[in-house]
Amino acid sequence: MQTLIIGGGLSGLALAEQLEAQGHDYMLVEARERFGGRIKTETLGTGYFDMGPAWFWPGQPRIAALIDRLKLEKFDQFSDGILSFEDEQQNVQRGRGFASMEGSWRLKGGLAHLTQTLADRLPDAHKRLNAAVTSLSRTSGEITATFADGTTLTAGTVVLALPPRVAAEITFEPALPAGTIRAMQGIATWMAGQAKAIAVYDRPFWRETGLSGDAMSRFGPMAEVHDASPAEGGPYALFGFIGVPPQNRRDEQALRHQVLAQFARLFGEEAANPNKLFIKDWAFDPYTSTDADKKPLYAHPSYGLPGAMIDLWDGQLRFAGTEVAPQFGGYIEGALEAADNVARTIGNTTKDRAHAS
């Protein structure tokens, strides 16, 4: 029987591509109207701006190999120039701190270029958008998935390639053990509590005055700012991670005003008038975040697959997604690591069943 992959982010897409290459029957479903999950790239003119993950690093072999195989191009994060620091009284100092993302890489076209390339490699018959799964029911060794529109699909194996906290909101029949649900709910969703602002300009005026675009602030609303310009040419951009807690940023109009005022304090009045200001608040994205994720993370969580989430429904229910990656959890490399781990086990299970028959 086929494998149902729930979640069309990077992990689900990478797993589907591997199953396609293996000749394994599968269906990839995604609740959103687009593939990519937390990878989301906005465009303006020829510019591309990542509203979710943006960086990857040396020492992450899977993402490097995948980019090479798909003939995509990476480039260095811009970090040349003087750094800026804003204290609690809105006083801006220059040359204090360090370029925290120096040495990282970004992808030409944005990371959505990667996820869309993967999605385009999958046959239409094996992928489906706008397909939110509301319940999973196991009877007689088969699992039936029910979607929000009332349709159903039957599979032999289901892979939950989405944040465990979001997966815990699915109705399971028979119910999963209480310890399993607690484990799923206890895994913080990486990036879920974050909001990101990107201001797009015709010119990189901050570079022209010797500034790198890197800034740290103790006043806010953005706690950390970086240059988000494309590899070459314009339009150019600055982006910031918004440090205000989710419950205090529900008024997007007020937030926009505060963000532009801060860009102006950090980089001059020209920064207050971008061609476009993109804001993406992941804390209020129902396919990424739960109420538990609205609490801020102050350190990188310890990720991996807890024992309580292994061998569920006699091995027919499995997990992918960056949060269950033991080595690179929380990074895009972790999404690929988790996909590799599941693809390997599904391949082994298929061989075992073939030998048994």
Q: Under a CB-based contact definition with an 8 Å cutoff, are residues 48 and 113 in contact?
A: yes
Q: Which amino acid is at 285?
A: D
CA gap 107, 129 in Å, rounded: 25
In a domain? residue 135:
yes
In a domain? residue 27:
yes
Give Cβ neighbours of residue 100 (< 8 Å, ≥ 6 apart).
214, 224
CATH number of the domain bearing residue 149: 3.50.50.60
Residue that is written with structure tokens 């029949």 in the block: 173
Residue that is written with structure tokens 């999404």 in the block: 335
What does DSSP say about strands 133-139 and 171-173: parallel, antiparallel, or unpaired?
A: parallel
Domain around 343: 1-39+112-188+300-357
Give Cβ neighbours of residue 114 (< 8 Å, ≥ 6 apart).
10, 39, 66, 67, 70, 72, 107
In a domain? residue 15:
yes
CA gap 259, 107 in Å, rounded: 26
In a domain? residue 231:
no
CA gap 340, 333 in Å, rounded: 11
Structure-token pair, residue 90? 């809105």
CA gap 51, 282 in Å, rounded: 9
In a domain? residue 6:
yes
Structure-token pair, residue 56? 């990857």
Residue that is written with structure tokens 């020492």 in the block: 59
In a domain? residue 53:
no
In a domain? residue 326:
yes
Domain count, the chain: 1
357 residues of the chain, pLDDT tens digit each = 999 999 999 999 999 999 999 999 999 999 999 999 999 999 999 999 999 999 999 999 999 999 999 999 999 999 999 999 999 999 999 997 677 888 999 999 999 999 999 999 999 999 999 999 999 999 999 999 999 999 999 999 999 999 999 999 999 999 999 999 999 999 999 999 999 999 999 999 999 999 999 999 999 999 999 999 999 989 999 999 999 999 999 999 999 999 999 999 999 999 999 999 999 999 999 999 999 998 877 778 889 999 999 999 999 999 999 999 999 999 999 999 999 999 999 966 544 444 333
In a domain? residue 212:
no
